[in-house]
Copies of this chain bind each other. A is one copy, B any other.
């Protein structure tokens, strides 16, 4: 029998069993804030890989959740690495769920649970692909590695960072399949080729030892809230342009190829046009202007994520705040450097009379960008053509941030995406779910990627 038919037959016949296995993993409430559940989930993942003939190592760290590393030698000398994570977002608000968040519940062709998509569902669809390959071929066609961490949702991928620093040789591969992937609102599969970076800072002002009564001090001593407002205003005015000297120096404009890929997208790169159109004054049913698509991802941002000063309760209080604080996230585009942003802010404030504004560096993530036409990307795109009804569409850059730069820019490995996400997945929200048809397609896509890599 044709191995492809055997593979696809196996996936179809074992979908229920695979979802039952997923239900067992979802039952472990491995919220990123619960260390014991994280350890249980890591042990569960290690067992699941051992059962499939993988050599498994569980790496533990003082300051990161365990990382499960697994490897199974394949027929060809080439190597495929799957990166996934077993931690999940908290399920709150609980009362918004239609079924218990840690009990995978199937209804209407979907399966609902925290982690059903992000990222336990993705991991289990990869395991279903491995099972199908082993069933059809008796072995995996390429060497397959898994690296599965537990710090993706809340810990800045601390586990993956440790692996990259301490065990980079284990992560060597001919290609990396990223934790997630998926289709757009029209079921067109998407190939995500990059993420923006992030610099996160707190701006803190303290003008007095403690708050004062505004009636006495109001005319005389500096108010921390006003200082913060003026400092923030100096960063960015209503035109949206960031006024920090040097901020745009390392910004690479999109290449003509990037622009062409953007132009071909029917939606914003993050698929959010329907959600954002009204707030932009655009028709949600209308076309998405290329300029809007470009701005959505190829321009860096300075976003106020939080403001805090003085009295915030009901009613009124006449206080002169001694302290004020803003949280800001800067989305960075290639090739801005996150560590540079707090230094540029410090210089900006010093130059504009805001020496009293403290800049606290809360960490950052570099941008990641793949060559849109890298052979491994094209292999994954071609493999998708075998299983999806529509050709995969390349998205040159997303607005969000991720740890993909560790593989692409630290280890120099090509990364591509494949997965079962869709616009109704409700990631990080109540009623997170997967579509069973997309789950099977993602498993099939994974088998085709392995087969093509073996043949290539």
A binding-site residues for B, Cβ under 8 Å? 196, 198, 200, 207-208, 212-223, 225-226, 228-230, 232-233, 236-238, 268, 270, 272, 275-276, 279-280, 292, 295-297, 299, 301, 303-312, 315-321, 324, 326-327, 329, 331, 353, 362-363, 398-401
Contact = CB atoms under 8 A, between A and B. Distances in A.
Contact of A306 (B207, B310, B362, B399): B310
Contacts of A221: 276, 279-280
Contact of A353 (B212, B218, B238): B238
Nearest to A211: B305
A242 to B, nearest CB: 11
Contacts of A315: 362
Contacts of A225: 304-307, 326
11 contacts: A219-B296, A219-B299, A223-B303, A226-B232, A229-B304, A305-B317, A305-B318, A306-B317, A306-B319, A307-B312, A316-B363
A196 B280 CA distance: 44
Contact of A309 (B200, B304, B353): B304
Nearest to A428: B213
A220 B280 CA distance: 7
A163 B399 CA distance: 62
Given A219-B296, A401-B215, A207 B305 contact: no
Given A311-B327, A327-B311, A329-B316, A400 B306 contact: no
B327 A310 contact: yes
B308 A308 contact: yes
B331 A272 contact: no
Contact of A399 (B218, B275, B279, B363): B218
Given A309-B307, A327-B311, A226 B236 contact: yes
Contacts of A218: 301, 303, 329, 331, 399
Nearest to A298: B219
A403 to B, nearest CB: 14
B214 A303 contact: yes
Contact of A310 (B301, B305, B316): B305
Contact of A324 (B223, B307, B318): B307
A327 B232 CA distance: 18
Per CB-CB distance, the 6 closest pairs between chain A and chain B, nearest first, are A215-B400, A225-B304, A221-B279, A306-B310, A307-B309, A233-B233
A237 B227 CA distance: 9
B220 A292 contact: yes
A311 to B, nearest CB: 4
Contacts of A316: 200, 305, 327, 329, 362-363
Given A220-B280, A353-B238, A399 B312 contact: no
A305 B331 contact: no
A117 B65 CA distance: 59
A233 B279 CA distance: 24
Contacts of A275: 212, 217
A198 to B, nearest CB: 7
A364 to B, nearest CB: 11
B306 A320 contact: no
B238 A295 contact: no
B308 A312 contact: yes
A230 B219 contact: no
B304 A219 contact: no
A346 to B, nearest CB: 19
Given A307-B310, A310-B305, A214 B276 contact: no
B296 A319 contact: no
A329 B214 contact: yes
Given A215-B398, A218-B399, A230-B233, 6 more contacts: A198-B318, A218-B303, A220-B296, A229-B232, A229-B304, A306-B321
Nearest to A294: B219
Contacts of A309: 304, 306-307
A95 to B, nearest CB: 17
